[in-house]
Amino acid sequence: MDNIKTMIFSWMPQLLLGARVTVALTVSAVGAGIIMSLFVALGKMSKNVIINRTCSAYVFFFRGTPLLMQLFFVYYALPMIAPALTINNRFLAAFIAYSLNCAAYCAEIIRAAIQSIDKGQFEASRALGLSYAQTMRLVIVPQSIRRLIPPVGNEFIMMLKDASLVSMIALVDITKATRNIEGSTRSALVYIPAMILYLIITAIFSWFFHKMENKYSIYE
């Protein structure tokens, strides 16, 4: 037993470095994805046919293809299409792929939240002389945010777990660090602290989103 404890403690520095990459990638990708998704969602709701169809095609593509394939496309295929698009930084490549994927899913979440607002509020805002942009910025979007927290929280947790896919392009996250340790020590016991680490990170962010949901509950 003491030998197992010693091994686990010796593995923790590598696992924690991997955890830092996992968390950094998830937070940055989801943050960027949410910002992009707002424009995509508004584009899907636009009456302009070109904008509407372009945004709809974007959502269809990124929701209809596997995230792993998107990651491979950004890291491996883009350089073959145009050398100028080569991305040598694995973290940056993963960030781009995950941000684009997250934007597609969050766009649908935002669109549903906006469309759930009573249409009477649109009409009242326009009657008060507010432009469409002012109506969205001052009336609709602030109310929609409360409805966004639970599904965005779920998307964040899913993205956190999907971050393990970056090990396929040799980016050292928790999963890649675990596989490296297993390869060097020939001990599958490393999966135990690795899974516990995932659970701890997931629990922390789940708690955070739960607090946010309670604070901004639409039922208050």
SS (H, E, C) 154-168: HHHHHHHHHHHHHHH
- Mind listing the pLDDT tens digit for each residue in 114-161? 888 877 777 788 788 887 777 877 777 777 777 888 899 999 999 999
What gap in Å lies between CA 18 and CA 118, rounded to an integer?
45
Pair of tokens at residue 112: 């549903």
**Model pLDDT, residue 133:** 74
Single pTM value for the model: 0.89
Mean pLDDT rounded to a whole number for the chain: 90
Confidence of residue 113 (pLDDT cuts 50, 70, 90): confident
- Mind listing the pLDDT tens digit for each residue in 69-92? 999 999 999 999 988 889 999 999
